[in-house]
Structure 1
Amino acid sequence: MSPPVRIIVVGAGCRGNVYSRYAIVHPDRVQVVGVADPNKFARTKFQQLYKIADENLCEDWRTLVQKDKCADAVLICTPDHLHKEPAVAFAKKGYHLLLEKPMATKVEDCLEIVKVCSQNGVMVCVGHVLRYHPPFRKIKELLDDGVVGDVIHIQHLEQIGFYHFAHSYVRGNWRNEAESCFSLLAKSCHDIDLIHHWAGARKCLKVTSFGSVSHFSREHKPTGAADRCLDCSVEDTCPYSASKIYLDRVKQGHTGWPVSVTCPNSLPDIETVTEALKTGLYGRCVYECDNDVCSNQVVNMEFAGGLTAAFSMIAFTEELCLRKTTIYGSMGELSFSDNEIRVFDFLTQKNTKYVAKVDAPEGFGLAGHGEADYHLMDSFISAVTNNDPSLIISGAEESLRSHLLVFEAERSRREGRVIDIDYSG
């Protein structure tokens, strides 16, 4: 058997924890040997869980990159706007990279990452986890097998979830573009990437987009509402109340996401969460935040050969991060919802249902992307173990092309015009 792949984790937050969990399930395949994070509580938790040596426990990733090479691969799970620098530095040292999406928040930074990784011969797996989700992989397989004939139109919807959007994009880390990036890149580059993936060899030629910040602004603040939910006399009438989203969950015994995010320096309980809501970001009224990213956006695309696609992202939904897709072809129609794929054949006029095999270990379904996180890590570790980049289906060059499409869609929204796609960056 091959020795375990040794990995360093840069960023011990939510995504770093999710991906590293693979080492708990498969200790024979992966060993976490280092972690870098400015948060002492997060670092210490990682060290205790993975038995990391003191010398590889760092506040700043630069300390690790300056050492002699001590691992095979690095997971880059820092905040979005901090991806480029560690990705480039570790690639230059010869580390293979699992790079959380988005690759970077600027086109030029994405291009530099791809260039440096190519020059240094390192493999890159971009965290487009939905490509690895069994139902979406099955859709790609069915399309490639021609079950709907020539693909004519793709219609895809992402339902973010009303409290998820309030948590992450109104109060939280992705609320303000200057501090993170625009919401289409932060939240929905997954979805644009899926459409790009399903389109196959056909390049996107033109894109248009429309969107705005809806509802979460001062003019929609209810009469009598306070600036903080715990001080608010009308809190019980507000679905976005921090008390409902966080405290009610703690009382029910739920201390995972999103509750855990409110207390980055301690384990969440009634006392610590209450204090966080009194003083921190997550206790603010959603109508008094510094949010400026779109809560709803549509993207229309034209691909070579006449294929068109329409994507919608919407905050105000009951379902949380669930996708709905319909793909219209010359010989049939494919629809996807609630993890079920249905194909209607025009010739036979019969429906066929397909169920993708779910075989991720217990626990990965709680990570936010179902089994996809597990399968992404499994592919990446297999690629490193076998030195075989073909096992990665979200490589640097492929992901760069879908990232460029996202950047151009946002440019269309801002400039109010159709954008012709230039894949040269």
Structure 2
Amino acid sequence: MPFVRHAKGLWRKSIHLHEPFNLCNMAQDVAARQEDPITLAIIGCGQRGDNYASFAIAEPTKCKIVAIAEPRPKTQKNFAALHNVDQTLVFDSWEDLHKASADTIKTVGKRLADAVVVAVQDQMHLEVVLAFAEQGYHILCEKPMSTNLDDCLKMEYAVKNAGIIFGMGHVLRYSPYTKAITDIVRSGTLGQIINAVHIEPVGHWHFAHSYVRGNWAREKDSCFSLMTKSCHDIDLLCHWLSPYTPTRVSSFGSLQHFRKASKPPAAGSATRCFDCSYESECPYSARKIYLDRVAQGITHWPASTLVDGVPDIENITYALRNGPYGRCVYESDNDVCDNQVVNLEFSNGATASFTMIAQTSLICERQTRLHFSHGEIVGDMNSFTVTNFRTGQVKKHTPKNEGGHHGGGDVGLIRTFIEAVRTGKQELLGTDISDVLRSHLTVFAAETSRKEGKVVNCEEFESEARKKLRVV
């Protein structure tokens, strides 16, 4: 019997639907919300949750934070104070927020907010999305969907079944830079897109922070780095090549540098930066990456991720002496790739190549070349040059950066999501849950190719995955 016929209760037995959600409810919500700010509950008040929530400060007439769930006491307190959240709607866990929501739905007949932002750790995305989708909340989920393919398929079904507005943290799509390129791609003025070359330069110390010492260092604790770092790069390629879809994918990559075999001899047996005689020469010195920056008054990311609350010299020093961020990058227990290439063939015969590389001076400043039948686009996330072969015209474009992260992509996404919720129009996001799943499937297929040393047929890969889970 197909899995979908037994969905309720199988994925998370403690979830119960207190108020059925349907298109009539959505229409009523839209009518009631044409003037009032859209209300949000933020689940996870770390860097990503804070980035999205900042829109409520910048545009208070459009968005308001009314509830939060965050386990870290100081971070919770500071976030609640910043957004003036009533203390009765401040929770230590998403489960507590979900229970309060269930009680409110049962007694008052309405949800605590219009939508939730899911910004918890990647491996928690599925259970949180399922829980709040079942209660009828519109959802903006940080990327990736989840850390395994089965969960992504389950999420697709749950979101479709709930009939909600769903946004995914593929923020690259929503920056002014990307939207300007997309407009040219869609216009057809350069003809058919034939090939794309895209590079994600992660940055040497950024990779050390997040993927050697940080939360995404071990596949078993999170996922492989192509998914956790670059799923929105693959999504961007799929977006530009749309409506054509990936048909075949191959990939190669490994962990080349951040391992004990690469440790400088001068570092000796030291396992922490504070105990290492080579530390002052090491580009991955925790003292340089965190402590020196805090001493200069730079207390935002990455230092802000090390401690609960606002980082200072004393707290950062303690964290580096005792926590994972003070470990030698060559003595850590990381296992995810620090370099990977992906080759894609699309259903119209177009091709694309993607490279994710840790060892760069650039920090996430993507480099892109798009080749068309009658022109090309070359860009660096700040500006791009368009060459039209027909006219011979060469024009440089520098779209306005609205500030924030990802060239304004974070602001662009949350603004678009809020408008989609306000109007009840999923199409404003330029994507839906099935489109999101398709690009994730491509990433999973690429990693399968890397691990198994074969070219993967994307259609067969998806078919087998759905058959295995018995989702139709």
Do these two structures clear the TM 0.5 threshold for a shared fold by scoring above it? yes
Among residues 225, 248, 272, which one is paired with 1:228 in the alignment? Answer: 272
Q: Is the 8 A contact 2:199 2:355 kept in 1?
A: yes
State the distance in 2 between where 1:406 and 1:355 align.
30
Identity of aligned pairs, percent? 45
1:217 partner amino acid: R
Q: Would the aligned equivalents of 1:131 and 1:394 in 2 still touch at CA under 8 Å?
A: no
Q: 1:384 aligns with which of 413, 417, 421?
A: 421
Which of residues 189, 205, 230 in structure 2 aligns to 1:188?
230
What's the counterpart of residue 441 of structure 2? Answer: 404
Counterpart code for 1:62: E
Give yes or no for the alignment of 1:345 onto 2:345.
no
Instruction: Read off the aligned partner of 2:457 and give its amino acid letter.
Output: D
Cα distance per residue 1:270-328 (max 9 Å; x no partner): 11111111001100000000100000000000001210000000001111001111111
Secondary structure in 1 matching 2:406:
coil
Partner of 1:260: 304
Equivalent AA in structure 1 for residue 66 of structure 2: V
- Cα distance, 1:354 vs structure 2: 2.2
1:417 aligned to which of 427, 436, 454: 454
Name the CA distance, whole Å, in 2 between partners of 1:320 and 1:348: 35
- Decide which moves more: 94-103 or 29-38: 29-38
Segments ≥4 residues shifted beyond 4 Å: none
Pairing of 1:196-215 with structure 2 (within 5 A) = 196-215=238-257
Which structure 2 residue ranges, 5 or more long, are not aligned? 1-33, 105-110, 466-472
Which of residues 16, 29, 33 is equivalent to 2:62? 29
Matched, 1:153 2:195: yes
5 Å matches for 1:12-91? Answer: 12-66=45-99, 67=101, 68=104, 69-91=111-133
Corresponding residue number in structure 2 for 1:109: 151
Write the distance in 1 (CA, Å) between the matches of 2:400 and 2:382. Answer: 10
Provide the C-alpha distance between the structure 1 equivalents of 2:75 and 2:166, rounded to a whole number of angstroms: 25
Contact 1:323 1:337 in 2 (8 A): yes
Q: 2:218 aligns with which of 152, 176, 184?
A: 176
Does structure 1 residue 164 correspond to structure 2 residue 223?
A: no
- In 2, are the aligned partners of 1:127 and 1:394 still within 8 Å (CA)? no
2:283 aligns with 239
Question: Offset of 1:393 from its aligned partner?
Answer: 2.1
In structure 2, what is the equivalent of residue 285 of structure 1?
328
Report Cα offsets for 1:114-162 as digits up to 9, x if no partner.
1111111111000100000111111111111113211111000011001
Tell me if the contact between 1:76 and 1:86 (Cα under 8 Å) persists in the aligned partners. Answer: yes
TM-score if structure 1 supplies the norm length?
0.96
* Cα distance in 1 for residues equivalent to 2:117 and 2:83: 15
Distance 1:5 1:51 in 2: 16
Note the residue ranges of structure 1 that are not aligned, 5 or more in a row: none
| Cα deviations by residue, 1:376-401 (Å, 9 ceiling, x for unpaired) | 01100011111111111242111111
Question: 1:375 pairs with 412, 415, 439, which one?
Answer: 412
Q: What is the CA-CA distance between 1:351 and the residue it aligns to?
A: 1.0
- Given that residues 210 and 298 in structure 1 are in contact (C-alpha distance below 8 angstroms), is that contact kept between their aligned partners in structure 2? yes
Aligned mates of 1:266, 1:347 — CA distance in 2: 57
Aligned length: 418
Deviation at 1:356, TM superposition (A): 2.1
Match for 1:308 among 351, 365, 376?
A: 351
Task: Say which is worse superposed, 1-10 or 212-221, in terms of deviation.
Answer: 1-10
Q: Give the counterpart letter for 1:406 in structure 2.
A: V
SS of corresponding position for 1:371: helix
Decide which of 354, 361, 365 is 1:322's aligned counterpart. Answer: 365
Q: Secondary structure at the match of 2:348?
A: helix
**CA–CA separation in structure 1 for the residues paired with 2:381 and 2:416:** 25
Give the Cα separation in 1 of the matches to 2:232 and 2:69: 26
Matched letter for residue 287 of structure 1: Y
Tell me how far 1:338 sits from its aligned partner.
4.9
CA distance in 2 between counterparts of 1:224 and 1:152 reads 49
Q: TM-score by structure 2 length? A: 0.87
Mapped pair 1:139 → 2:181: yes
Q: Assess if the C-alpha contact under 8 Å between 1:33 and 1:52 holds in 2.
A: yes
* SS state at 1:20 partner: helix
Distance 1:276 1:193 in 2: 35
CA distance in 2, matches of 1:320, 1:355: 19
CA contact (8 A) 2:381 2:407 kept: no
